[in-house]
Structure 1
Amino acid sequence: MDGTVIEEKASPYERIGGAEGVRRLVDAFYDTMERNPAYAELRAMHEPDLGPTRDSLTGFLSVWLGGPRKWIEKRGGFCIMSRHAKMNVTGATAGQWMAAMRDALAEVGVEPELAEKMDGALSQLAEAMAWRGKAG
């Protein structure tokens, strides 16, 4: 070996700031959803107390971004599509969800490259939920 150090890339979870960064993003997302009348239809789809929902999204995003798997281990598995099937996600509410998430990503200052990747992947998920809402 010539002493060259190979730099490991940080996971998206680490790049967003770990547990604290994910929680800041989730809180910014739900705070935005609650205060912006443009997201009223989306807000109405959720329980009045967003505490458990905030905790759940924090856990999901932590796993999704490459962080600890505690959230999955606690549930013994999870199908995000099945969990949201009863919510009857529409194209409009999926769009509201993505707009609120984009607002939150900007508010907490997620690095642009990571925010763009998250936007792309989450947009596909939101569109799939809306499509499933139409189909079923």
Structure 2
Amino acid sequence: MPASAANPPFAPSSPAVRAIVTRFYDLLEEDQAYADLRAVHAADLGPVRHGLTRFLTGWLGGPRDWFERGPCIMSLHRAFPITPALADQWAMAMTCAIAAQDDIDPAIADSMTQALGHMTRGMINLGLDDSAAA
């Protein structure tokens, strides 16, 4: 059955979404390849773990409370200096986190990584030509 609001690819409290977010932030904390990305986050990752779980749940067709509460994901990140390298770190960590979930259909995993990677590249605001992006 195709995904829809009535049949999201992941249940609203999906263990798969939580597992993706857990793996993503565990990579930031444990793998030096993501040190620059970890450095732009607060010491306590609890709030962003919760926020990303809510964002992904709504983005995947579950409850949209994250989207109804305030600014869009792009506006929320505008205050952070996001270089191409930082965006690449985020996309790679998310790709690894999604790939680590054996119970996700490979086609859905591929669609997720492509869409989230595209969104992440859209957040780049520094380093395109050594100045802030417009």
Q: Same fold (TM over 0.5)?
A: yes
Q: Which has the higher helix share?
A: 1
| CA–CA distance in structure 2, aligned partners of residues 18 and 70 of structure 1 | 11
Which piece of structure 1 moves more, 16-25 or 44-53?
16-25
Letter in structure 1 aligned against 2:24: F
| CA–CA distance in structure 2, aligned partners of residues 14 and 22 of structure 1 | 12
Letter in structure 1 aligned against 2:115: A
Which piece of structure 1 moves more, 33-42 or 63-72?
63-72
Q: Structure 1 segments of 4 or more deviating over 2 A?
A: 10-18, 70-73
Which residue does 2:85 correspond to in 1?
Answer: 92
8 Å Cα contact 1:98-1:123 kept in structure 2: yes
Question: RMSD across aligned C-alpha pairs, in angstroms?
Answer: 1.9
Which residue does 1:24 correspond to in 2?
Answer: 19
TM-score w.r.t. the length of structure 1 is 0.83
Q: Radius of gyration: which is bigger?
A: 1
8 Å Cα contact 1:28-1:108 kept in structure 2: no
46, 59, 67: which one pairs with 2:54?
A: 59
| CA–CA distance in structure 2, aligned partners of residues 103 and 18 of structure 1 | 22
| CA–CA distance in structure 2, aligned partners of residues 94 and 72 of structure 1 | 22
How many matched pairs?
126
Gapped runs of 5+ residues in structure 1?
1-7
Note the alpha carbon deviations across 1:59-110, whole angstroms, 9 max, x for none.
Answer: 111111100122233x1x3211111111111100100001101110111222
| CA–CA distance in structure 2, aligned partners of residues 111 and 122 of structure 1 | 16
Identity across the alignment (%):
44
Give the drift of 1:45. 0.5
Letter in structure 1 aligned against 2:25: Y
Gapped runs of 5+ residues in structure 2?
127-131
